Amino acid sequence: MTGTDREAFRLEGVTKRFGDFVALSDVSLRVDRGEMIGLIGPSGAGKTTLLRILAGMLQPSEGRTLVGGHMVAKLSRLELRAVRRATGFIHQSLDLVPELRVVSNVLAGRLGFGGLWEALRLLTWPRRDDLVEVHRCLERVALTEKMYERSSKLSGGQAQRVAIARVLFQDPTAILADEPVSAVDPARARDLLEILARINAETGKTIVVSLHAIDLARRHCGRLIGMREGRIFFDRKAEEVTDAELDRLYDLGGAVT
Amino acid sequence: MIPSVAIRRTWGPTSTFLLALGLATFLALWQLDFLGGSFSAPGGLSEFRRFFAAALRPTMTSANTGTSILPDLREALGTTVFVAFAAMGLALVVGFVFGCLASESLWERDPVVMETAVGRVAQRALLPTWLVAIRAVMAFLRSIHEIFWALLFTALFGLSLVCGILALAIPYAATLGRIYAEIIDETPRDAARAIRGAGGGRAATFLVGLLPRAAGSILSYSFYRFDCALRSSSILGFVGFTTIGLNIRTAANYDHYQEVWTYLYALFALLVATEVLSGALRRRIAAWR
């Protein structure tokens, strides 16, 4: 089995500029289905931008994005929605609606499947089947007792797990997570990474996660992509990445050789 | 060595404007002093005393008929509340639609969807025009005070309560619409963007990602406006509608100040009750966040 049927994402010569600022420059990479990839590098290296482009939420200034073999720039509005449904995103800022209950936030994961009517239904009278499914998703992140709690009442770690449950309910083929553990303590961070790794192992969902915690990235990810100043610094199997390389990746003072 | 520090003045045009505004207020108050001569009407002072003396002796008995004014009072209060409720109900619905349509968040463009020529024209030219147009309509509707709307409608259709309700509802809908649009646009869009990122459509994203975040402020402001609607509804009586303002005006015309005070106290009690109720609701809403 070779070629594009195994391919989850591909970037070809992607550059992204915000005004004068170059966030990504000439990045090419390929992500296969079922991979668990850690995206590491100093702040401002372009990790968030890269993830948002993979998710079909940003258009590159130059180059092409392919998701599941489809060129994102060529998609119609409806096709784009379909591509986005198949890609889950966990943001650094979680982006829950704090005024809504946990259950509604998890249900929001499937808003891509329906229109206004489904949205109204979600806010008022959700389907029994959906509630059962939400319960199952919360079970995976060990948060069922908070199902009907208002999201504003959750701790940072709990909110993070709700964000993961929302992605699980969406049931995408790939999950992109942007520094999902930057706001929680080390023990919580370990738990969350274990949850993501288990999802990857049990369901075969592709996972790309950006992390500042190098040790977690090395332990749980099969492949590490080091980014620096908008470029890919290294891209290899986690066990092949050396300490010297990591030092150079984060060494902001020294010259890049 | 002293490090070089950029010296910049922090006084700007806004500060100048605020200072000018303060000066203008002061001048206006100062001018009042020159108008003082025409401040009193003949016999005004004794009338003034009589009016406030009556405050301590409100009455339940009509000076004209010798019967109780309680049925009148009850009916007038009922009508006042009814008109305020009906007008607010209409204004809420219309204002909400206005607010959504006038908010930029609703029309936010998806940065990834391919820009067609038509889409570009819509976004760059039509949207700003649309926003200016709908905001201008709202500004026009609320620039006409509810009393003028009331006078206009009574001239056309007579003193039917429907006219009173519409007279209140129109400027209120416009005011609510403007404030709702502002509230919606000040609401953080991160949750909405996340839902969009999961494939949510425009309407569904707006409904689930933005409106719940704005709902607290929208409801709080609406309750506050209901308070205003009650007072406006009372004042409609001065134009001839059968709200409590009519009773106050009639009693005042007959110099029956004791009755005037009964109505004023009743109105006061009504407003206090509303405030207590809306305050409790606002606190509950605040607890959502």
- Quick one: tokens of B69? 């004014």
pLDDT tops 50 at residue B286: yes
Task: Give the closest residue to B254 by CA, choosing from B42, B45, B62.
Answer: B62
Domain ranges of chain A: 1-86+208-251
Q: At B38, is the pLDDT very low, low, confident or very high (cuts 50, 70, 90)?
A: low
Give residue B284's pLDDT.
85
Sheet with A70-71, side-by-side order of all strands: A21-32, A7-18, A62-67, A70-71
- Quick one: tokens of B40? 């009193």
CATH number of A1-86+208-251: 3.40.50.300
Task: Report in angstroms the alpha-carbon separations of A3 from A10, A231, A237, B209.
Answer: 12, 25, 20, 38
Give residue A1's pLDDT.
42
Task: Give the closest residue to A10 by CA, choosing from A46, A45, A35.
Answer: A35
CA atoms of A133 and A148, how far apart (whole Å): 14
Mean pLDDT for B195-224 is 89
Q: At A38, is the pLDDT very low, low, confident or very high (cuts 50, 70, 90)?
A: very high
Give residue B266's pLDDT.
94
- Quick one: tokens of B247? 């009773």
- Residue that the structure tokens 């002061």 belong to: B26
pLDDT tops 70 at residue B135: yes
pLDDT tops 80 at residue B112: no
Task: Report in angstroms the alpha-carbon separations of A248 from A182, A242, B127.
Answer: 22, 10, 49
- Considering only alpha carbons, which residue of chain B is nearest residue A94? B191
Confirm if A50 and A24 have CB atoms less than 8 A apart: yes
CA atoms of B68 and B88, how far apart (whole Å): 32
pLDDT digits (tens, 9 = 90+) for A140-158: 888 989 999 999 899 888 8
CA atoms of B87 and A96, how far apart (whole Å): 35
List chain B residues with CB under 8 Å of A98.
Answer: 213, 288-289
- What is the least distance, in Å, from the CA of A237 to any CA of chain B? 29
- B194 to chain A, any CB pair closer than 8 A? The answer is yes
CATH 1.10.3720.10 fits B70-108+115-286, yes or no: yes
Beta strands in A161-222 (DSSP E): 174-178, 206-210
pTM for the predicted model, two decimal places: 0.81
CA atoms of B132 and A129, how far apart (whole Å): 45
Give residue A2's pLDDT.
47
Of A220-234, B34-48, B108-122, B166-180, highest mean pLDDT: B166-180
Mean pLDDT for B198-226 is 89
Is A89–B194 a contact, with Cβ atoms under 8 angstroms apart? yes
Task: Report in angstroms the alpha-carbon separations of B256 from B41, B60, B69, B72, B142.
Answer: 19, 12, 12, 15, 35
Mean pLDDT for B219-237 is 92
Lowest mean pLDDT among A36-50, A107-121, B259-273: A107-121
Give residue B181's pLDDT.
95
ipTM above 0.85, yes or no: no
CA atoms of A61 and A216, how far apart (whole Å): 32
Give residue B182's pLDDT.
95
Amino acid identity, position A117: W
Give residue B37's pLDDT.
56
Query: A62 - beta bridge partners?
Result: A15
pLDDT tops 50 at residue B211: yes
Is A57–B197 a contact, with Cβ atoms under 8 angstroms apart? yes
Give residue A119's pLDDT.
86
Handedness of CA A193, A199, A200, A205 (dihedral sign): negative
- B36 to chain A, any CB pair closer than 8 A? The answer is no
* Helix, strand, coil % over all residues of chain B, rounded to 5: 80, 0, 20
Give residue A6's pLDDT.
86
pLDDT tops 90 at residue B243: yes
Amino acid identity, position A53: I
Beta strands in A68-205 (DSSP E): 70-71, 87-90, 174-178
Give residue A4's pLDDT.
59
Mean pLDDT for B166-182 is 96
List chain B residues with CB under 8 Å of A150.
Answer: 288
Confirm if A115 and B203 have CB atoms less than 8 A apart: yes
List chain A residues with CB under 8 Å of B199.
Answer: 81-85, 111-113
pLDDT digits (tens, 9 = 90+) for A177-217: 998 888 778 888 888 899 899 999 999 999 999 998 888 88
The neighbour count for residue B99, using CB atoms within 10 Å, is 25
Q: How many secondary structure helices (H) and strands (E) does chain A include?
A: 9, 10
Mean pLDDT for A118-132 is 87
Most distant CA pair in chain B: distance in Å? Answer: 92
- Considering only alpha carbons, which residue of chain B is nearest residue A74? B114
For residue A17, the SS3 value is strand
B113, B203, B209 ranked by CB distance to A97: nearest? B209
Task: Give the closest residue to A126 by CA, choosing from A96, A105, A150, A95.
Answer: A105
CA atoms of A71 and A52, how far apart (whole Å): 15
Mean pLDDT for A54-65 is 90
pLDDT tops 80 at residue B170: yes
Give residue A3's pLDDT.
55
Give residue B34's pLDDT.
62
- B8 to chain A, any CB pair closer than 8 A? The answer is no
Is A89–B215 a contact, with Cβ atoms under 8 angstroms apart? no
Lowest mean pLDDT among A237-241, A245-249, B55-59, B62-66: B62-66
Amino acid identity, position A40: I
pLDDT tops 60 at residue B110: yes
Q: What is the mean pLDDT of chain A?
A: 87
- B111 to chain A, any CB pair closer than 8 A? The answer is yes
The neighbour count for residue B147, using CB atoms within 10 Å, is 16
Residue B131 φ then ψ, to 5° = -65, -45
pLDDT digits (tens, 9 = 90+) for A230-255: 999 989 888 888 888 888 888 855 55
* DSSP secondary structure, B177-224, as one string: HHHHHHHHHHS--HHHHHHHHTT--HHHHIIIIIHHHHHHHHHHHHHH
Q: At B140, is the pLDDT very low, low, confident or very high (cuts 50, 70, 90)?
A: very high
List chain B residues with CB under 8 Å of A87.
Answer: 197
Burial of B213 (0-12, 13-18, 19+ CB in 10 A): buried
- B183 to chain A, any CB pair closer than 8 A? The answer is no
Mean pLDDT for A90-113 is 87
Q: What is the mean pLDDT of chain B?
A: 88
* % of chain B beyond a pLDDT of 90: 50
- B188 to chain A, any CB pair closer than 8 A? The answer is no
Task: Report in angstroms the alpha-carbon separations of A127 from A97, A104, A121, A123, A198.
Answer: 20, 12, 8, 11, 28
Is B114–A74 a contact, with Cβ atoms under 8 angstroms apart? yes
Give residue A131's pLDDT.
92
Mean pLDDT for B76-91 is 95
Q: At A169, is the pLDDT very low, low, confident or very high (cuts 50, 70, 90)?
A: very high
Give residue B158's pLDDT.
87
Mean pLDDT for A161-172 is 92
Domain ranges of chain B: 70-108+115-286
